[in-house]
């Protein structure tokens, strides 16, 4: 199975949200990383065929997804970044409703609904009204609806927002198990989610694809570029001025600083293995949400 | 003569034999040469995928295009009604309760108050539709639209089916109200009463749909109901206006009705266009995407 994105662009009046984006995705989990406003959500909406590109084409196994219509939606699971619910519905009823919209037969839908409810850990609250759900439970219900039709293409926009660590781990495991015969595209700011499950990472900035590669290959670029050093509190402002600081940890012995720099920042600095957070900072130089 | 022919025949036969032998020789030689090459054949699955991809470009000459279009059209309609029927269970209790209460109050006032039947049907006729609009737009209002858009049954089909349902439900309720008042009272004409409520119903329905597409439906419904109540108060205090309305020339009434029906259909079409795709950051989804239609 192959999802091909060919020179896709989306323009909203003067703003170019996605610019000539080209990528090829096969079975596996792909992590989409980029700062706010990079065009990730717009790209995912186009991939979900709910937003028309200004130019370019998206193909699934060589067929234009727009001409595929229902056949594409048959194999599509989509979790939007922001969504609501019919709050008077129970979780089960809401899933039955979405299952009906996805064209599942009633009996098959009931079985599938039960299955996905258990999968996301909502079985015990399935018959409570959605208005009584916490944020994390709502998010899990969102994930559950995306899985209802056993999708071959799963597009998830910030799926782990609002999930507690246990739920995030559960969700990552679900993704890993599912990824053998599916294309899963995951957009998130929580870089550790991508670090654990993604086959490839797509870096996106200002609507363009900066890089698409294996995480290991991307991290190789940062070899000898990430340093750890313990300094005195008074040295910290100077370091902040001169270098990209990934992390600051106050210890009894002083302040342990993780620095991103191509050169050794201080004589006492020790090189450390680069992580995805370092990579994120290297490319986007923005505050990391963790 | 015959001997030479016989010899000639033998010579031809010998030539043929030589040709066959030569051909066999070349065949075996060719096979030996080709043995050095390996031809990689694609997998069966890849061949099938290629055929599937190309199938979309192959015209089906066995089908009449006009018939196919008609079939598609009818299939879509049938499908729409099926969705509508299946979706009834998803309508909120508030909608059903409102319809029931309005109908009950309408019957009660219409039966008990002598002068009221026309005003009652006029005032009550558009209300189930206006309240029903909340159901049509609930996906957009409650943020579920983006999920619905990515489903097989599209959001616009869903909204249209709900719209059809609330139109049908309103028509049935209003007809039942007229019928019941006609049966109970006996001093009014059923068709006259039906004609009386149809014009305001269709005008208010089309204008409330026009408004709901443009602003939040909860707000538009409140605005429409408030305005309609104000109209009701005027009609109650100025019975001469009602009489004048009821005695409008038939041609003018038909023209007004036709215009309102046209506006309703046009708004229904607009609803479909606006909710096929979404536009980032817009409340009215699809508002910026009009260039694509």
Per-residue pLDDT, averaged over B67-79, amounts to: 71
8 Å CB contact between B150 and A76: yes
Using a CB-CB distance cutoff of 8 angstroms, which residues of chain A are in contact with residue B146? Answer: 45, 50, 78, 80, 82-83
Q: Which of A45-49, A172-176, B5-9, B41-45 has the lowest mean pLDDT?
A: B5-9
Residue A75 confidence (pLDDT) above 90: yes
Asked if the Cβ–Cβ distance from B278 to A70 is below 8 Å, we say no
Pairing of strands A183-187, A28-33: parallel
Long-range contacts: A221-225, Cβ < 8 Å, 24+? A221/A279, A221/A282, A222/A260, A222/A274, A222/A278, A222/A279, A222/A282, A223/A274, A224/A262, A224/A271, A225/A260, A225/A261, A225/A262, A225/A274, A225/A278, A225/A282
Environment class of residue A233 by beta-carbon count within 10 Å: exposed (0-12), middle (13-18) or buried (19+)? exposed
pLDDT in tens, B16-27: 677 777 788 888
**What is the complex's ipTM, to 2 decimals?**
0.84
pLDDT in tens, B129-188: 999 988 888 888 888 888 888 888 777 778 888 888 898 999 999 999 888 888 887 777
B216 touches A: beta carbon within 8 Å: no
What lies within 8 Å, CB to CB, of A246 at 6+ separation is: A226, A258, A259, A260, A277, A278, A281, A288
**Average pLDDT over all residues of chain A:** 88
pLDDT in tens, B179-235: 888 888 777 788 888 888 888 888 888 888 888 888 887 888 888 888 888 888 888
Per-residue pLDDT at A91? 93
Q: Give B135→chain A minimum CA distance, Å.
A: 11
User: Which of B97, B144, B289 is the best residue to mutate to test the A interface, defined by the most A CB atoms within 10 Å of its own CB?
Assistant: B144
State the CB neighbour count (10 A cutoff) for residue B102.
18
Q: What is the pTM of this model?
A: 0.75
Query: Chain centroid to CA A44: how far?
Result: 10
Which one of B49, B143, B153 has the shortest CB-CB distance to A101? Answer: B153
State the CB neighbour count (10 A cutoff) for residue B222.
12
8 Å CB contact between A258 and A227: yes
Where would I find the beta strands (DSSP E) of A48-95?
55-60, 63-64, 76-79
Q: Which of A37-46, A199-208, A220-229 has the lowest mean pLDDT?
A: A220-229
Residue B289 confidence (pLDDT) above 50: no
B212 touches A: beta carbon within 8 Å: no
A98 touches B: beta carbon within 8 Å: yes
Per-residue pLDDT at A90? 92
8 Å CB contact between B231 and B199: no
- Least CA distance to B138: which residue of chain A? A86
Q: Give B127→chain A minimum CA distance, Å.
A: 23
Which one of B90, B149, B152 has the shortest CB-CB distance to A70? Answer: B152
8 Å CB contact between A184 and A28: yes
Per-residue pLDDT at B56? 66
8 Å CB contact between A12 and B280: yes
Residue B53 confidence (pLDDT) above 60: yes
Band (B41; pLDDT cuts 50, 70, 90):
confident
pLDDT in tens, B220-277: 888 888 888 888 888 888 878 777 777 778 888 888 888 888 888 888 887 776 655 5
- Residue A51, SS3 per DSSP: coil
Band (B7; pLDDT cuts 50, 70, 90):
low
Q: How far is CA B186 from CA A225, B173, B176, B229, in A?
A: 93, 19, 15, 28
Query: Where do the H-state alpha helices sit in A148-243?
Result: 165-178, 191-197, 215-220, 236-242
- Token pair 């993704």 in the structure block, residue: A175
Sheet holding A226-231, edge to edge: A244-251, A254-260, A226-231, A270-271
What lies within 8 Å, CB to CB, of A114 at 6+ separation is: A123, A126
Per-residue pLDDT at A209? 92
Band (B8; pLDDT cuts 50, 70, 90):
low
Pairing of strands A3-12, A15-25: antiparallel
Residue B62 confidence (pLDDT) above 60: no
Q: Give A165→chain B minimum CA distance, Å.
A: 25
Residues 35-94 on B with a CB inside 8 Å of A are: 49-50, 52-53, 56, 86, 90, 92-93
Asked if the Cβ–Cβ distance from B280 to A45 is below 8 Å, we say yes
Per-residue pLDDT at B268? 80
Per-residue pLDDT at B281? 38
Residue A183 confidence (pLDDT) above 60: yes
Asked if the Cβ–Cβ distance from B153 to A97 is below 8 Å, we say no
In three state form, how does the secondary structure of chain B look? Answer: CHHHHHHHHHHHHHHHHHHHHHHHHHHHHHHHHHCCCCCCCCCHHHHHHHHHHHHCCCCCCCCCHHHHHHHHHHHHHHHHHHHHHHHHHHCCHHHHHHHHHHHHHHHHHHHHCCCCHHHHHHHHCCHHHHHHHHHHCHHHHCCCHHHHHCCCCCHHHHHHHHHHHHHHHHHHHHHHHHHHHHHHHCCCCHHHHHHHHHHHHHHHHHHHHHHHHHCCHHHHHHHHHHHHHHHHHHHHHCHHHHHHHHCCCHHHHHHHHHHHHHHHHHHHHHHHHHCCCCCCCCCCCCHHHHHHC
E strand or H helix that includes residue A70: helix A70-74
Asked if the Cβ–Cβ distance from A52 to B292 is below 8 Å, we say yes
CA distance B14 to B41: 42
Using a CB-CB distance cutoff of 8 angstroms, which residues of chain B are in contact with residue A145? Answer: 147
Asked if the Cβ–Cβ distance from A102 to B152 is below 8 Å, we say yes
Using a CB-CB distance cutoff of 8 angstroms, which residues of chain B are in contact with residue A13? Answer: 288
Q: How far is CA B292 from CA A51, A141, B149, in A?
A: 11, 33, 17
Share of chain A above pLDDT 70, in %: 98
More confident residue, A222 or A96: A96
Per-residue pLDDT at A23? 93
Per-residue pLDDT, averaged over B78-87, amounts to: 72
- Least CA distance to A41: which residue of chain B? B280
Residue B35 confidence (pLDDT) above 60: yes
User: Which of A14, A27, A39, A50 is the best residue to mutate to test the B interface, defined by the most B CB atoms within 10 Å of its own CB?
Assistant: A50
Asked if the Cβ–Cβ distance from A82 to B143 is below 8 Å, we say yes
Residue A46 confidence (pLDDT) above 90: yes
pLDDT in tens, A15-34: 899 999 999 999 999 999 98
Residue A59 confidence (pLDDT) above 60: yes
Pairing of strands A200-205, A28-33: parallel
Band (A287; pLDDT cuts 50, 70, 90):
very low
Q: Give B266→chain A minimum CA distance, Å.
A: 23
CA distance B26 to A55: 57
A196 touches B: beta carbon within 8 Å: no
* Cα atoms found within 13 Å of the Cα of residue B259, Cβ hemisphere only: 11
Per-residue pLDDT at B286? 38
Band (B63; pLDDT cuts 50, 70, 90):
low
Which one of B52, B147, B279 has the shortest CB-CB distance to A83? Answer: B147
8 Å CB contact between B117 and B181: yes
Which one of A50, A74, A97 has the shortest CB-CB distance to B146? Answer: A50
Band (A60; pLDDT cuts 50, 70, 90):
very high
- Residue A129, SS3 per DSSP: strand
Share of chain A above pLDDT 90, in %: 35
Asked if the Cβ–Cβ distance from B151 to A83 is below 8 Å, we say no
Per-residue pLDDT at B283? 36
pLDDT in tens, A112-148: 999 999 989 898 889 999 999 988 899 899 999 999 9
Band (B280; pLDDT cuts 50, 70, 90):
very low
Asked if the Cβ–Cβ distance from A76 to B279 is below 8 Å, we say no
Residue B46 confidence (pLDDT) above 50: yes
Q: A118: closest CA among A150, A84, A153, A144?
A: A144
Q: Give A283→chain B minimum CA distance, Å.
A: 26
Using a CB-CB distance cutoff of 8 angstroms, which residues of chain A are in contact with residue B281? Answer: 12
Residues 84-143 on B with a CB inside 8 Å of A are: 86, 90, 92-93, 138, 142-143
């Amino acid at each position: 199975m192959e999802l091909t994105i060919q020179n896709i662009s989306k323009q909203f009046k003067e703003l170019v949200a996605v610019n000539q984006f080209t990528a090829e995705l096969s079975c596996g989990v792909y992590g989409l990383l980029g700062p706010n406003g990079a065009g990730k959500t717009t790209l995912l909406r186009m991939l979900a065929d709910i937003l028309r590109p200004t130019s370019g084409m998206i193909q699934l196994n060589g067929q234009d997804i727009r001409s595929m219509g229902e056949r594409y939606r048959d194999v599509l699971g989509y979790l939007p970044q922001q969504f609501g619910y019919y709050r008077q519905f129970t979780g089960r009823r809401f899933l039955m409703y979405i299952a009906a919209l996805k064209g599942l037969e009633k009996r098959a839908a009931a079985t599938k609904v039960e299955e996905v409810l258990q999968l996301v850990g909502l079985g015990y609250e399935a018959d409570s009204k959605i208005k009584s759900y916490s944020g994390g439970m709502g998010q899990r219900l969102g994930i559950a609806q995306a899985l209802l039709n056993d999708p071959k293409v799963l597009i998830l926009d910030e799926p782990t927002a609002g999930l507690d660590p246990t739920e995030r781990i559960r969700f990552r495991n679900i993704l890993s198990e599912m990824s053998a015969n599916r294309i899963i595209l995951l957009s998130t700011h929580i870089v550790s989610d991508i670090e654990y499950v993604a086959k490839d990472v797509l870096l996106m900035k200002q609507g363009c694809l900066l890089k698409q590669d294996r995480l290991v290959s991307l991290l190789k670029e940062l070899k000898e570029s990430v340093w750890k050093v313990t300094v005195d509190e008074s040295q910290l402002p100077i370091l902040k001025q001169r270098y990209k600081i990934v992390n600051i940890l106050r210890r009894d012995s002083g302040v342990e600083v993780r620095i991103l720099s191509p050169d050794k920042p201080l004589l006492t600095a020790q090189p450390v293995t680069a992580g995805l957070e370092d990579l994120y900072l290297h490319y986007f130089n923005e505050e990391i949400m963790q | 003569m015959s001997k030479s022919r016989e010899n000639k025949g033998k010579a031809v036969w010998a030539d043929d034999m030589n040709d066959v032998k030569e051909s066999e020789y070349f065949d075996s030689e060719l096979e030996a040469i080709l043995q050095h090459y390996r031809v990689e054949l694609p997998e069966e699955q890849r061949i099938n995928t290629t055929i599937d991809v190309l199938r979309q470009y192959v015209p089906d000459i066995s089908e009449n295009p006009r018939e196919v279009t008609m079939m598609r059209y009818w299939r879509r309609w049938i499908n729409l009604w099926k969705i509508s029927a299946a979706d009834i269970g998803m309508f909120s209790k508030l909608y059903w309760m409102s319809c029931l209460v309005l109908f009950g109050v309408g019957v009660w006032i219409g039966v008990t108050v002598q002068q009221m039947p026309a005003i009652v049907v006029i005032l009550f006729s558009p209300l189930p539709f206006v309240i029903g609009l909340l159901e049509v737009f609930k996906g957009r209002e409650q943020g579920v639209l983006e999920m619905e858009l990515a489903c097989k049954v599209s959001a616009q089909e869903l909204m249209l089916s709900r719209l059809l349902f609330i139109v049908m439900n309103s028509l049935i309720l209003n007809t039942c109200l007229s019928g019941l008042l006609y049966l109970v009272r006996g001093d009014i004409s059923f068709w006259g009463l039906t004609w009386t409520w149809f014009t305001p119903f269709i005008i208010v329905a089309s204008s409330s749909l026009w408004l709901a597409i443009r602003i939040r439906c909860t707000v538009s419904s409140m605005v429409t109901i408030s305005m309609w109540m104000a109209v009701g108060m005027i009609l109650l205090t100025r019975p001469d206006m009602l009489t004048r309305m009821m005695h409008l020339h038939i041609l003018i009434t038909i023209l007004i009705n036709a215009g309102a029906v046209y506006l309703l259909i046009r708004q229904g079409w607009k609803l479909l266009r606006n909710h096929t795709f979404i536009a980032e950051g817009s409340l009215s989804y699809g508002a910026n995407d009009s260039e694509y239609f």
